[in-house]
Chain A
């Protein structure tokens, strides 16, 4: 063997590589045989694919194979470890966005602005106008909340560009014309941009952001200011780490506060009864404190998203509000309670009924549509409930 050190060397290298690489392949394949299944990835905040059912048809049309491949990938051993490594490598290589989330300055994570599909948006706005036309006298309002990347654009990473949400909002506003009143909170939030109006690690606005927006809303809707209690900010947790942190993999260590607003003096706010229509559950609070212990602590407000929530108050009025909304509304609802006898809260993403029934049965006196810009751009459910 000494005579041909070169050749032996090459062969030795190949054999070593064969042992190590084939060994790794073998070990990984054996680990993969262990039938462990997870149904949910908290890290990515999404459902993981389970084992697909085997049938003659699904094999013949290839759908079984496709689903099986997704299943194997979703259930791959050490998935969250791979995700962390990937994030580390990307960050090291200079990437500043992941999963549609920018890693901005001051630990801000900012969701990409969604550009709506024009046709879909048109259908949505047409449906809203038509709905309004059916209830001529009842005032209707649309409040679109700009997303953090729009208001806090100076926090975006260097050179980062997003879609122009102001322009998207402008065209919505123009399209709706006078029929549905536009609640213009863009400037309001802009004025308070130096304050904590958006969470750093979550896709929502903070209660303070909602509070400022509510000032504008109240003005636009002409709410009776005499009923307004003196609101006071209270911290309910200091260890909140929101959904964007999970979605992007950035900002895992960041902890922030969640505030709620309550009246300084007892009795200034009306008493309330909150009825979760689907669950048949009744409580006397708008807050679900048990959620603070869960990963998604924003669920504190109204216990997360529900198809329909009926809020009855002791407020001295006969006004009744229908609120069609996404999760951004959840932390704003407490501010609305002093002015309405009843607030019917509908989340079209879950609610499958029709709004016409509610309008009649509950003698609704105003309607408010409240969405954040991104959800409104992506939503495909509003049309359904308006019909």
Chain B
């Protein structure tokens, strides 16, 4: 079940909220857990079994590590088994198909087994489960003995499919006690509507521009068309993913949870390093905490740091898929970060603010080309087109038509990437007063209606990150 579906918004959500608010505190977690299982089973009727088995396995692993916390050797053994099982399962589902297809093409024999399809959300789920297991091993968190609370953390529907990657440590307390108030419901509803609007209105509209551009093929593109397509993708992936995160955060709020922020206006960054600190922050924090720091972090000598940054970016690339374009994309981002760390910072720091933004945006956009292209060769052809090589002129009718007929949305989407408008709006509203409260509610109400319009009449592009 996806957040931007009629079934979720107008059947599942109201039913769950009604039950959740009516039942007493001690049953709330159980209701939420049950709802999460229904939610997952709806989209993954077989995947739900894997989820349940995994939750039970990791629950027992957590208990096992905690029991032997003093005996480091045995605790480490359980940790290693647990990591191996979780990562092995993830690797099997995530890469099995690609590997088998690759082998099938190389080997002379036919492999009848084709591998499995990755159950939705498995990557995000694994990240979160590992944050718990590792933190229990490190003694950062207490073991969760209550199975329902544990299972709820692992499978909570707002964050189950595509994050944010909520580390166990950050909502440990909330699992036991949290405030469920009307104010939070309001905050959550507003957050949900904002996220929905980002997805169904902005992301899907600019996404269509991107799809139209790339469907014509690189040979048929003008410079304008190539930049337009790339910009449209940059906006689409931002609104798609941050919209999803907003919806998740809003749903969490309604149930009383506070999730960490996932996007912090990345496109206003002054360097690509800053961009990645502002983009998908929850997964960035995860990699820093559980990969970068154990490898030595910022304490290590420069050579190691460089190696570690590149290693992490390679992992980030592979996390998106076992294809060369993601590997190149990851290394591209990693190398830029290393360059900025070693010497480019001198240049970046001295640049006037606006130049820094342009520098960052352009380099990130070029990175996106590797991300969205089917292969590395296609990516270079596309980038070539952006700079005139093999392009059909500076501008052509196809590019102009897409630009002119979508200009309003593109401008709106571009403006939305800077914090000014939303911050100003919030400042005005926060001064309080009945009038403002009514105006605010009415504006959000209208936005909600507009979302319904797009939801019903739209093309239904699934969230991008569901496939990762």
Contacts and interface: CB of A to CB of B under 8 A. Distances in A.
A235 interface: no
Contacts of B42: 65
B187 to A, nearest CB: 5
Contacts of A9: 430-433, 436-437
B456 A159 contact: no
Given A25-B13, A93-B409, A18 B432 contact: no
Interface stretch (A81-89, A207-215, A331-339, A363-371): A81-89
Given A95-B406, A97-B405, A20 B444 contact: yes
A31 to B, nearest CB: 9
A73 B1 CA distance: 13
A76 B452 CA distance: 10
Contact of B452 (A6, A28, A72): A28
B420 interface: no
Contacts of A72: 5-7, 10-11
Contacts of A73: 5-6, 455-456
Nearest to A4: B432
Interface in A1-37: 5-6, 8-22, 24-26, 28-29, 32
A12 B13 CA distance: 24
A83 B457 contact: yes
A160 B404 CA distance: 10
B373 interface: no
A160 B406 CA distance: 13
Contacts of B176: none
B185 A18 contact: yes
Given A69-B7, A83-B457, A16 B441 contact: yes
Contacts of A17: 186-187, 189-190, 437, 440-441, 444
Q: Main secondary structure on chain B at its contact with chain A?
A: helix
Interface in B426-468: 429-434, 436-438, 440-442, 444-445, 448-450, 452-457
B11 A32 contact: yes
B445 A21 contact: yes
A20 B437 CA distance: 10
Interface in A294-348: none
Given A13-B440, A25-B9, A32-B11, A95 B454 contact: no
Contacts of A8: 432
A92 B444 CA distance: 21
Contacts of B456: 73, 76, 79, 82-83
Interface stretch (B288-296, B333-341, B347-355, B393-401): B393-401
A157 interface: yes
B72 to A, nearest CB: 45
B400 A18 contact: no
Interface string B1-30: 100011101110110010000000000000
B400 A159 contact: yes
Contact of B404 (A22, A59, A92, A94): A94
A36 B404 CA distance: 40
Given A15-B186, A79-B456, A20 B431 contact: no
B432 to A, nearest CB: 2
Contact of A18 (B1, B9, B182, B408): B182
Nearest to B201: A89
B185 A22 contact: yes
A153 to B, nearest CB: 11
Interface size class of B (residues with CB under 8 A): 35 or more
Contacts of B185: 14, 18, 22
B358 to A, nearest CB: 26
A25 B16 CA distance: 13
Given A16-B437, A93-B409, A158 B404 contact: yes
B430 A159 contact: no
Given A21-B441, A76-B456, A29 B11 contact: yes
Contacts of A85: 450, 453
Contacts of A161: 396-398, 401
Contacts of B455: 73
Nearest to B47: A62
B407 interface: yes
Contacts of A173: none
B303 interface: no
B436 A13 contact: yes
Contacts of A93: 406, 408-409
Contacts of B182: 14-15, 18
Interface in A27-83: 28-29, 32, 59-62, 65, 68-69, 72-73, 76, 79, 82-83
B43 interface: yes
B186 A76 contact: no
B193 interface: yes
8 A-B pairs closest in CB distance: A9-B432, A18-B186, A14-B186, A159-B401, A20-B441, A21-B189, A16-B437, A17-B186
16 contacts: A6-B430, A9-B437, A13-B186, A13-B441, A14-B183, A14-B185, A14-B187, A21-B441, A22-B17, A59-B45, A60-B45, A68-B7, A73-B456, A97-B405, A157-B401, A160-B401
Given A5-B432, A19-B441, A157-B405, 4 more contacts: A11-B183, A17-B441, A32-B6, A73-B456
Interface of A: 5-6, 8-22, 24-26, 28-29, 32, 59-62, 65, 68-69, 72-73, 76, 79, 82-83, 85-86, 89, 92-97, 157-161
